[in-house]
Amino acid sequence: MTTLVRLCAERDIRVVSVWGNEIDRVGEAEALNALREHGITVSGYNRIVPFTPGYLEQARFELERAARFGADHVFLFTGGLAQGDRDLGMARRRVEDEMGHLLEIAKPLGMKLAIEPLHPMLTGDRTVVASVSHANDLCETLGPGIGIVIDVYHVWWDERLESEIHRAGSAGRLLGFHVNDWLLPTKHLLTDRGMMGDGIIDLAAIDRLMREAGFEGPVKVELFSRDWWERDPAEVLDVALSRCEQIFGGTQRAGTDTQS
C-alpha cells in the first residue's frame, strides 16, 4: 500500500480508495502516515465483510477504521446465497435487514454505506444485489446514509443504466465511479478486467451519464487483473493515467484503488 501511495503522489493523484487487508499488511499507523506524508485523502474504504452470522463485530471495527482514515463511504460486501440456500428472494430480504442494522452503526460515525451492484454472474457467491435498479430500491427503502457506487465492469450491459444512474443522481446518492474494461474473451470473471480502452465498454458515454446525473467525484481506476498485477506498478499507473486523459478528459479527475 505504501508503495502505491508514493507512486500516486509522484503523479499528482490525490485521492485513493483503501482496502482493509492492504492496511493490515503494513499496519494502520504506517498506512496513515504514508497518506498524510504525501497529502493523499481517502475516498472509499473496502469493506464490510459478508453478512454471515456474527459479522457485526467485525463490521463495526471496519466502520470505525474507515472513519479514522477519513473515508467518505464504506463498501458493503453482502455475500451471495448461503450454502444449500436457493431462496433468492429471502436472501435479498435478509440483506436489506442487515443493511438497516449497519446504518445504525454507521450514522453515529458519520460514515456512509455504499452499495456496489455486481454482475449477475456473481449473485451466487458475491452479492445478491446485481443491478443499479435494485440498489436504488434499497436506498429508497433504507433512507439517508446509504448510496451507490457505479463500477462499469458490472453494469455496462444494463439497458436501464441511463435511467437508473439519473435516478440515483437526482437523489444525491452517487458515491463513486469505478472504471476498467470488459475484454473479449474474458478469461476469468473476477481477475481478467481490462485496462480502460482495451475492451468493449463505452466508457466515455457512461462518464457523461455520471456527470449529467450530478456526480462530481474522481474517476477511480479499479483493475482486478492477473495480467496487470504482474507488471511494474509504475507502468500500470502511467498507462492508466494516459487512458484516463484520453477517455475522460484529464488526469486531474483520476483516483486509484490500493488493490488495483
Task: Write down the pTM of the prediction.
Answer: 0.95
CATH 2.60.120.10 describes domain 2-257: no
Show me where the domains of the chain are located: 2-257
Cell of residue 10, nine digits:
509522484
Helices 203-212 and 233-248 sit at what angle, rounded to 10 degrees? 70
Q: What is the pLDDT of residue 254?
A: 62
* pLDDT tens track for 34-86: 999 999 999 999 999 999 999 999 999 999 999 999 999 999 999 999 889 99
* pLDDT tens track for 201-214: 999 999 999 999 99
Q: CA 227, CA 247: separation in Å to the nearest integer?
A: 22
* pLDDT tens track for 79-123: 999 889 999 999 999 999 999 999 999 999 999 999 999 999 999
Residues 195 and 180: beta-carbon distance below 8 Å:
yes
Q: What is the pLDDT of residue 256?
A: 74
Q: CA 221, CA 258: separation in Å to the nearest integer?
A: 10
- What average pLDDT does the chain have? 95
Q: What is the pLDDT of residue 242?
A: 96
- % of the chain residues with pLDDT over 90: 95
